[in-house]
């Protein structure tokens, strides 16, 4: 057994990031400045989007994307129930109603189910690229286009993920990314919005900084001017150069992080695929999965313990784990305010009951990965239900054998 606890997640910060932060602190540019601009340019280039707007979180990125669309009181926005609360809360902050929908077996928003939830008040659908795998974007784009509504992607888990040969960030009207500490690349806290629409980009930049026509960089730099106008009551969501210092180097290392994530996912897959007690994530066609999460699904019919006991057993073996997510319809706030109940979301319920997210991050050593595999195998071996022997005469295979 491991001597030291393996945390569920840890970021991988290198000397380059540290030196770049120190350089920003020494330079005097500690708020939005030249490094934010460079980070935005490199991020746009990486994703292939025309514009990238750096903000202080993915929550802000989602909020601004919906605000730029004009979402407000009386409007509805379709959101999957299997997500972090931020995806729905930003809708509520704008005075609109989040309409929760169920997900498919991979935890993704299904175009058919999303279409059924669209009504006359719907302004947008907000699919979540759950665990680092893209939703069926072709299907969702068709749904959005045919109903004349916007597709805003929650790509908090999916920086670097690919759908139909294109990186996430170029499909919907806006795509929101997270650089929170646990994400595939981090700036501590931070986020980015990509869009290929010029007008939306201009509006997003303004809304992210009080509605002002000129940010600090364009006022205080040598080439700047003191004059600005407030064109609407915006927000204070800008990213700082200290955050961008970390982001610039994380972005340059992102492909190596993704390669390591995929390698670890491959090792889990090879180790667990013959276990009838576990269902593993599936990489769908036309996708490159970036494995932000590795949720294994416990088959309750095959195991004598449930999800919570499984996580406790992992902890006893010095392995951290988590659950993604407690579906939104299970939280008292959304139940009380909107009247959601469990039977409306059968797949999310099933996933929630069985899901355990195993640790998977580039900082893990091969030894750490071995320890996770050994712990999972040990728990399954100790808690598997005895298989029920089927008498030969009634075995379906015996009946069809010739």
Ligand X SMILES: Cc1ncc(COP(=O)(O)O)c(C=O)c1O
Strand, coil or helix: 24 = helix
Token look-up 């900084």 returns 209
Q: Should residue 81 be labelled a site residue for ligand X when binding is judged by CB under 6 A? A: no
Q: Which stretch binds ligand X (CB under 6 A): 69-77, 84-92, 159-167, 267-275?
A: 84-92
**Distance, CA of 125 to CA of 119 (rounded, Å):** 11
Q: How long, in residues, is the chain? A: 402
Cα–Cα dist 239/38, whole Å? 12
Helix axes of 366-383 and 241-272: crossing angle, nearest 10 degrees: 50
Residue showing tokens 């000397």: 15
Q: Give burial (CB, 10 Å; 0-12/13-18/19+) of 45.
A: exposed
- Closest to ligand X by CB, 272 vs 345, is 345
What is the rounded distance in angstroms from the CA atom of residue 89 to the CA atom of residue 333?
10
**Active-site residue among 183, 236, 299, 377?**
183
Question: Whole-number minimum distance, CB 176 to ligand X, in Å?
Answer: 7
Secondary structure (H, E, C), 53-119: EEECCHHHHHHHHHHHCCCCCCCEEEEECCCCCHHHHHHHHCCCEEEEECECCCCCECHHHHHHCCC
Binding status of residue 355 toward ligand X by CB under 6 A: no
**Terminal Cα-to-Cα distance of the chain (whole angstroms):** 49
Give me 76's structure tokens.
């509805």
Select the span of 52-60, 118-126, 331-339, 389-397 touching ligand X (CB under 6 A). 52-60
Which of residues 54, 86, 134, 380 is near ligand X by CB under 6 A? 86
Closest C-alpha to 209, from 234, 191, 189, 188: 234
Q: Tell me: does residue 174 bind ligand X (CB under 6 A).
A: no
* Residues between 146 and 165 with contacts to ligand X, criterion CB under 6 A: 154, 156-157
Q: How many residues bind ligand X (CB under 6 A)?
A: 14
Contact track, ligand X, 175-194, x by CB under 6 A:
---x-x----------x---
Closer residue to ligand X (CB): 125 or 303: 125
CB atoms within 10 A of CB 337: 12
Which residue among 24, 32, 47, 57 contacts ligand X (CB under 6 A)? 57
Catalytic site includes residue 35: no
Cα 84 to Cα 155: distance, rounded to the nearest angstrom: 12
Instruction: Enumerate helices (H) and strands (E) in the chain, giving the number of each.
Output: 14, 13
Residue placing its CB nearer to ligand X in the complex, 58 or 278: 58
Shortest distance (Å) from residue 178 CB to ligand X? 3
Q: Which is nearer to ligand X, 128 or 239 (CB)?
A: 128
Give yes or no for residue 104 binding ligand X (CB under 6 A): no
Pairing between β-strand 150-154 and β-strand 174-178 as defined by DSSP bridges: parallel
Task: State which of positions 120-139 bind ligand X (CB under 6 A).
Answer: 128
User: Which C-beta is closer to ligand X: that of 58 or that of 99?
Assistant: 58
Rounded to a whole number of angstroms, the minimum distance from the CB of residue 137 to ligand X is 16
Q: Which stretch binds ligand X (CB under 6 A): 53-61, 98-106, 132-140, 388-396?
A: 53-61
Among 58, 131, 149, 242, interactor with ligand X by CB under 6 A:
58
**Using the rule CB under 6 A, which residue among 24, 32, 47, 83 binds ligand X?**
83
| Torsion sign across C-alpha atoms 321, 302, 133, 361 | positive
Q: Which residue in the set 65, 87, 175, 243 belongs to the binding site for ligand X (CB under 6 A)?
A: 87
- Minimal distance, residue 13 CB to ligand X, in Å: 17
Active-site positions read 183
Name the site residues for ligand X (rule: CB under 6 A). 57-59, 83-84, 86-87, 128, 154, 156-157, 178, 180, 191
């Amino acid at each position: 057994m491991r001597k030291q606890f393996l945390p569920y997640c840890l970021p991988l910060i290198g000397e380059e990031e540290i030196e770049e932060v120190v350089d920003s602190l020494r330079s005097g540019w500690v708020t939005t400045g030249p490094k934010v601009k460079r980070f935005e340019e490199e991020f746009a280039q990486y994703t292939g989007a025309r514009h990238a707007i750096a903000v202080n979180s993915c929550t802000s990125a989602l909020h601004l994307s919906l605000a730029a669309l004009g979402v407000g009181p009386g409007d509805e926005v379709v959101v999957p129930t299997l997500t972090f609360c931020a995806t729905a809360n930003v809708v509520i902050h704008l005075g609109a109603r989040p309409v929760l929908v169920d997900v498919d077996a991979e935890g993704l928003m299904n175009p058919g189910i999303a279409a059924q939830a669209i009504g006359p008040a719907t302004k947008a659908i907000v699919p979540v690229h759950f665990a680092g795998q893209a939703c069926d974007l072709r299907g969702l784009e068709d749904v959005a286009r045919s109903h004349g509504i916007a597709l805003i992607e929650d790509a908090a888990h999916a920086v670097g993920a690919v759908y139909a040969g294109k990186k996430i960030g170029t499909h919907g009207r806006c795509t929101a990314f997270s650089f929170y500490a646990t994400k595939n690349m981090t700036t501590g806290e931070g986020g980015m919005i990509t869009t290929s629409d010029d007008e939306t980009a201009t509006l997003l930049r303004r809304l992210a900084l009080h509605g002002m026509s000129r940010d600090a960089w364009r006022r205080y730099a040598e080439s700047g001017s003191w004059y600005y106008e407030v064109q609407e009551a915006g927000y204070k969501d800008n990213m700082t150069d200290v955050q961008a210092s970390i982001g610039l180097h994380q972005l340059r290392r992102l492909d190596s992080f993704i390669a390591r994530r995929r390698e670890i996912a491959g090792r889990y897959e090879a180790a667990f695929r013959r276990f009838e007690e576990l269902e593993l994530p599936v990489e769908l066609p036309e996708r490159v999965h970036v494995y932000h999460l590795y949720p294994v699904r416990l088959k309750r019919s095959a195991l004598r313990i449930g999800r919570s006991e499984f996580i406790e057993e992992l902890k006893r073996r010095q392995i951290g784990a988590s659950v993604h997510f407690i579906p939104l319809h299970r939280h008292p706030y959304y139940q009380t305010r909107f009247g959601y109940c469990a039977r409306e979301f059968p797949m999310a319920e099933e996933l929630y009951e069985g899901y355990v997210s195993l640790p998977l991050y580039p900082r893990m050593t091969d030894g750490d990965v071995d320890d996770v595999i050994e712990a999972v195998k040990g728990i399954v071996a100790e808690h598997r239900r005895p298989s029920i022997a089927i008498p030969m005469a009634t075995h379906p295979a015996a009946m069809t054998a010739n």
